[in-house]
A and B are shown apart, each in its own frame.
Chain A
Amino acid sequence: MTEPRQRRTTEQLLADAGERLRATAGLPGRMSAIRGTAESADHTVRATVDVHGALTALHLHDAALGAGPDRLGDLIVQIAGDAHRAALHHGAGVLGDTLGDEAALEALRSANLPTDPDAPVLPYTPGVDPNAHRWNVIP
């Protein structure tokens, strides 16, 4: 299945480095645009946060106030935490697209998010889609 990879020429390596610089230059912008959203089971509390976990939107249905001030405060913290985990997952994906699978897994591990131990970690070459051989092109 895995064929020996051809050695890349100097020109290709230089082009790889240029591609990597271009990809990483846009990374802060792509990371800051990430949002994660979560909702309580009864849909009365919905929170959206950025990749750092800062609230960017909060919706509280009037029915949510019935829980009382203490439980409602705790529920907001819990839903915002769920939204943050979603944002971090998304962020790890964005990192992986730019820096490769190993960087994505490292980001998930450092954020204490579950990782799939069986996930294939493909060697990263800028500008080359490592999954290209898996494409099922429908003619």
Chain B
Amino acid sequence: MSEQRHRLEAALAAAGPIIGTASGDDGAVTVEVEVGGRIRAVRLTRHALRYGGKFLADTVLSVAAKATAKANQRAHQVYAQALGSRGESYLDQLGLSYDPAQLADEPAPPPRRAPAAPGGTANEYGDDPADYPETWMRRR
């Protein structure tokens, strides 16, 4: 046990401070967090304020979640290095897990409608999914 603790302390010392950083809204919002998600810094540009409080709050929230996933993933790497898979399950027990989907560098694509059925002719106009309405005008 003490040997494992020693290995973990050595790995943590070698890794240095583990900090997750992420940006959103084209770089207008940057959030820096510690492992677990405690916020160290929120950096905003004037551009970040242009859509009002609600939009900014939602952006900070999603960027912080992404930064937290990065920090927690790094912690998982360090713990796994020192303790193997036990180190990772230990972090999961502490609630320091992460969603790999948060780690994609590209922003998540906007939700799309279901793609056109393969082989169907509904997609003849190319750009639009099959269930895209031909017109937004409604008959009453």
Q: Is A64 an interface residue (CB 8 A)?
A: yes
Chain A binder among B2-10, B30-38, B104-112: B30-38
Q: Is B15 an interface residue (CB 8 A)?
A: no
B19, CB-defined interface residue at 8 Å = no
Q: Which of B42, B48, B58, B65 contacts A77 (CB 8 A)?
A: B42
Q: B116 within 8 Å of A by Cβ?
A: no
Question: For residues 48 through 103 of chain A, which have their beta carbon under 8 Å from a beta carbon of chain B?
Answer: 49-55, 57-65, 68-70, 72-74, 76-77, 80-81, 84
Contact B36 A62 (CB under 8 A): no
Measured in the bound complex, the distance between the Cα atoms of B43 and A132 in whole Å is 51
In this assembly, does B39 line the interface, its C-beta being within 8 Å of a C-beta of chain A? yes
Contacts known (A65-B52, A69-B45); A77 close to B40, Cβ less than 8 A = yes
Asked whether, in the complex, the Cβ of B54 is within 8 Å of the Cβ of A51, the reply is no
Contact check: which of A51, A58, A84 meets B60 at CB < 8 Å? A58
Which size bracket describes the interface of A in this complex? 20 to 34
Instruction: Tell me the bound Cα distance from A73 to B35 in angstroms.
Output: 20
CB distance from B28 to the nearest CB of A (A): 9
By a CB distance below 8 angstroms, the chain A residues around B68 are 54
Cβ contact within 8 Å between B42 and A76: yes
The B53-109 residues at the A interface (CB cut-off 8 A) are 53-54, 56-58, 60-61, 64-65, 68, 93-96
Q: Does A32 contact B (CB under 8 A)?
A: yes
User: B49, A69: Cβ atoms under 8 Å?
Assistant: yes
Contacts A58-B60, A60-B57, A76-B60; A52 near B43 (Cβ below 8 A): no
Interface residues of B (CB under 8 A from A): 33-46, 48-49, 52-54, 56-58, 60-61, 64-65, 68, 93-96
> Beyond A58-B57, A70-B44: 18 further Cβ-contacts under 8 Å?
A28-B95, A51-B95, A52-B36, A52-B37, A53-B33, A53-B34, A53-B37, A53-B38, A55-B39, A60-B53, A62-B53, A64-B53, A65-B49, A65-B56, A69-B45, A77-B39, A77-B42, A80-B38
